[in-house]
Amino acid sequence: MSVSPLNIGFIGLGIMGAPMAGQLVKAGHSLFVNTRSTVREPIASSNAVRCDTPRKVAEKADIIILMLPDTPDVERVLFAENGVAAGLGKASDGGRKVVIDMSSISPIATKEFAARINAAGCDYLDAPVSGGEVGAKNAALTIMVGGEQAVFDRIKPVFDLMGKNINLVGGNGDGQTAKVANQIIVALNIEAVSEALLFAAKAGADPAKVRQALMGGFASSRILEVHAERMINRTFDPGFRIELHQKDLNLALSSARALGVSLPNTATAQELFNACSAHGGSGWDHSGMVRALEKMANFEIGQKSE
């Protein structure tokens, strides 16, 4: 579905944000950007307008998208002195501007942020994503949305430029809840694939051939397809950094405590990530969790078993 050119703001041009924003530029939209880091390609060589503050982005854009690391970053960008909220007003067509947070942050804080943006006369969607850098570059992200149906319907063509599997989960905060659930599943799958390949390699089998065999069976998964290959090839450049997955599992575990729910395997996955960080791996791709298990086994995948 084609979309008439829109004035879109994009704040946060990191590993995920830059290729996501690039899809919007490629579709012919006018982009107004703000980032604390270096402006990455494909944005650096595009016609995107660099703004000094989030407030200026909000003044110029009708749709303002955030892609930031954590809850405090989103709160700062939205509500600091020169934040997004200070620049909000009527959209260029006289309607309501829309703030879309595509970061992965606290569902509880999200509900508060949405209420404050609504009080300013604008709409709010939380729309965290899954699919990693590959999904962002291929416009194939899964997008989990929380907000009102009418707002979602209006923004859906924009989401379609960045993702393939796009669902309205419920009200504000429910998109973030779905993302936390996603991160639990991903972490536990990484842990399972790590154990399986480590076991196979230590037993003397070729882990690459084991992976290929498992890809045709019930154990097949995106984690086995993508992350197992990283483990075998020892390519741990992110991707999705361990420190960010730690943040997401902290959200899961703190929310579980508040709900009175036990998540024992999530806690184990977090401890393995913690072990990686203790060995300087907070910036590794989250598939690097396997290194914590390798340390305990004193054996690396790819190493010849004696």
Active site residues: 179
Question: Do the beta carbons of residue 128 and residue 69 sit within 8 Å?
Answer: no
First-to-last alpha carbon distance for the chain, in angstroms, is 58
Question: Do the beta carbons of residue 26 and residue 47 sit within 8 Å?
Answer: no
Question: Do the beta carbons of residue 232 and residue 301 sit within 8 Å?
Answer: yes
Give me 136's structure tokens. 């962002």
Give the phi and the psi of residue 123 in degrees, each rounded to 5.
-95, 160
**For 132, how many CA atoms within 13 A lie in the half-sphere containing its CB?**
17
Instruction: List residues bridging with 100 in a β-sheet.
Output: 65, 125
Strands (E), the chain: 7-11, 30-34, 49-50, 63-66, 98-101, 123-126, 129-130, 141-146, 163-170
Question: Do the beta carbons of residue 98 and residue 66 sit within 8 Å?
Answer: no
d(CA 225, CA 230): 9
Question: Do the beta carbons of residue 277 and residue 292 sit within 8 Å?
Answer: no
